[in-house]
Each structure stands twice: as structure tokens, then as C-alpha cells.
Amino acid sequence: MSIQQNVPLKRFNTLGVESYAEYMAQVTSIEQFKEVAEFARLSGLKIKVLGGGSNVVMSEAVSGVVVQYKSAQIALLSDDNAQVLIRVDAGFNWHDLVMHSLKQGWYGLENLAFIPGLVGAAPVQNIGAYGVEVKDCIQHVHGVFIDSLEEFHFTAEECGFEYRESIFKQALEGNVLITAVDFKLSKLPTVNVSYAPLDQMAKEKGVPTPLELAHWVIDVRKSKLPQPDQLPNAGSFFKNPVITLEMFEGLVSRYPAMPHYKLDEGVKVPAGWLIDQLGFKGKSFGPVSVHKQQALVLVNHGGKGVDVLHAADEVKQAVLDHYGIQLEQEPRLFA
């Protein structure tokens, strides 16, 4: 473990933004992290935790000490006829975990295949796709508080999971290093094909095995989302807004074809549809553009973090002006 100075971060973020960290350290244990924390304390620097860089917008210069947790081990904690409990280090690649679990006959994560990033970021964002949220499989989240260096072991309930939200993005934002996550996975091969494209595929091809479903998900994601190594992007840039029933009824009278999903707390409307209806697919804002096939995705063609944020603001303002809906972006500013 070493602490390096003036580290280029372009390869550490999927938007491919040129950026430099004042200091950076990659650690594989809490003990190593505490050494970095002591250096930061003595130097009067703030620690900033970076995962796989798939959900951040980098500023040109990132101050303080950027820390990336690299340990990537899996431990089997318990195993019975119906389910297993595994502990996965935060540095494990998320998609690799999904495919590894399927190979072992452990099910529950297949709908979350091909999501970029690391395991440690999964509970922060409460990643979700195609009818499944990761919170449904999480038992505990382990880590250390950055300010006190005390270790924590949160239950899923203590994590405050909501749609694309958790306590790690709210009350504890910027104050935790997640080191491992415990997942409870089923050994019974049930599948969730409630998401419309998957349901249609199941009607055409029959009910899939969990592994087949994972490959369906991969195919759907590849068809809808550009790969960051080909077109730098951060995946879906905007959350699907949840609006009041009253607001929805006013909008659907003007836009009868508006897709929607009724929830207990309101009505969820697809952000991609809202943006697409405004003709933004393929639209460029300098070096950043809306993807020509998926309106939720912003593609970076050599721009800086400020260029990405400018494009996002233009999209958000247009949606607000036209529909009265305030979009919220998913990637956070990393500065």
C-alpha cells in the first residue's frame, strides 16, 4: 500500500473525464485504511472513497486523499438446503459476483447482471434493475466510519434502503468506507420476469433458468445502454421521478401514452420517456451528448466534469419547463 500524489483519474471513472487526485491510496484492509486515515489527519486532508467510478462525475481536481478499497474475496458463511449466506469484499466486481453466484447455484442476483461497478457501491446506491433491488438480498453491510475509525456492521434495516437510496447517501454520506457485504441467496431456481421485455421473452421462449435470465438481462442492457469502454458514460444518468397522483392525472390528460407505474407513495414516470419526448436523443451540448438510442444516458466525447453537469442541467431544465417535473441525477459529483 502506498499513498501517491497527483494521480490521474481518467481510467478510474467510466465517463472518461480528465481529473487528478491530490493524493490516492488503494487499500486491502481496515488496517491499511487506518494508516491512510492517519496520514490524512496529520496532513489536514479529507478522505474521499471511490468505488468503480461508474456513478460519479469527476471534477478537474479532486482534493484530499482518494481511497479505493481493493480486497475482493468471497466467504461462505452458512449453507443449507434452501439458501446460502456469503460475505463479499467491497472490491469484488459486481457483474463477476452475479455470474459467480449463478455458477455456484446461488440465485437472486441474476436480474442485476451486467451492472458496472464494485460490490461496495451496490448498497450505497441500492442498485436495481428489471424488477429487482439489491436490498432484497442484502443481510449486512460492513465497514468503518471515516471520522472515528470505528467499525460498523449494519443490518439491511439499518441501511435505510429506498429506491436508489440508502443511509450511505443520506446521513452517512462521505463518512463511511464499506469493506464487505453479506448476501442471502436462494438455492431454489425461481426467476423474476416481471419487467416487460423479460416477460415478453419468457412468453416467446418459455420460462428461463436463472442463468438464462442473466443472459437475457445482459442482452437487453447491451441493446439499450452503450458500453463505457466504447462510449464513455455513467449509465442511466437520471432517476425515474415519482410524482403525486394529482400531478400525474394532469399530465396524462395531455399525454395519454405516458408510461407509468403506480406506487403507494405516488406514480413513477420513466425519465427516459420524458426526455425522449422532447427530442433530446442524439442532441449535443458541446462535447457531451444524449445517447442517440437511450435518452437516459449522457455520453462524454472528451469533455470535463463541468461539461457533463452542464448537459445534465440543460436536460433537467427542459423537463422542468415542459412537464413541471424536477429530475434528479444519479451520479454524484466527485470533487
Q: Provide the pLDDT confidence category of residue 164 given band limits of 50, 70 and 90.
A: confident
User: Would residue 265 count as lying in a domain?
Assistant: yes
Residues 81-91: tens digit of each pLDDT? 999 999 999 99
260: domain CATH number? 3.90.78.10
Residues 85-142: tens digit of each pLDDT? 999 999 999 999 999 999 999 999 999 999 999 999 999 999 999 999 999 999 999 9
User: Would residue 14 count as lying in a domain?
Assistant: yes
**Would you call 71 a catalytic residue per the annotation?**
no
Q: Provide the pLDDT confidence category of residue 225 given band limits of 50, 70 and 90.
A: confident
**Would you call 332 a catalytic residue per the annotation?**
no
22: domain CATH number? 3.30.43.10
- Options 87, 164, 221, 332, the catalytic residue: 164
Q: How far apart are CA 60 and CA 20, in angstroms?
A: 6
Same domain, 54 and 82: no
**Would you call 43 a catalytic residue per the annotation?**
no
User: Would residue 286 count as lying in a domain?
Assistant: yes
Same domain, 124 and 35: no
Same domain, 44 and 90: no
Same domain, 272 and 176: no
Same domain, 129 and 35: no
User: Would residue 228 count as lying in a domain?
Assistant: no
Q: How far apart are CA 39 and CA 21, in angstroms?
A: 15
Give the total number of structural domains in the chain.
Answer: 3
Residues 57, 305 contacting (CB under 8 angstroms) = yes
Same domain, 18 and 61: yes
Same domain, 60 and 98: no
Domain that holds residue 36: 3-69
Q: How far apart are CA 44 and CA 24, in angstroms?
A: 15
Q: How far apart are CA 274 and CA 281, in angstroms?
A: 11
Mean pLDDT (whole number) for 204-216: 95
Same domain, 130 and 165: yes
Radius of gyration of the chain (CA): 20
Evaluate if residue 163 carries a pLDDT over 90: no
- Options 165, 314, 330, 332, the catalytic residue: 330
Q: Of the candidates 44, 69, 94, which is a domain's last residue?
A: 69
Same domain, 182 and 86: yes
Residues 174-203: tens digit of each pLDDT? 999 999 999 999 999 999 999 888 999 999
Q: What is the pTM of this model?
A: 0.91
Q: Of the candidates 45, 69, 93, which is a domain's last residue?
A: 69
Strands (E), 115-197: 128-129, 132-133, 138-145, 151-155, 176-186
User: Would residue 22 count as lying in a domain?
Assistant: yes
Burial (CB < 10 A; 0-12, 13-18, 19+), residue 28, is middle
Residues 9, 58 contacting (CB under 8 angstroms) = yes
Residues 110, 213 contacting (CB under 8 angstroms) = yes
DSSP 212-264: HHHHHHHHHHHHHS--TTTS-EEEE-BPPPEE-HHHHHHHHHH-TT---EEET
Residues 14, 35 contacting (CB under 8 angstroms) = no
Same domain, 177 and 264: no
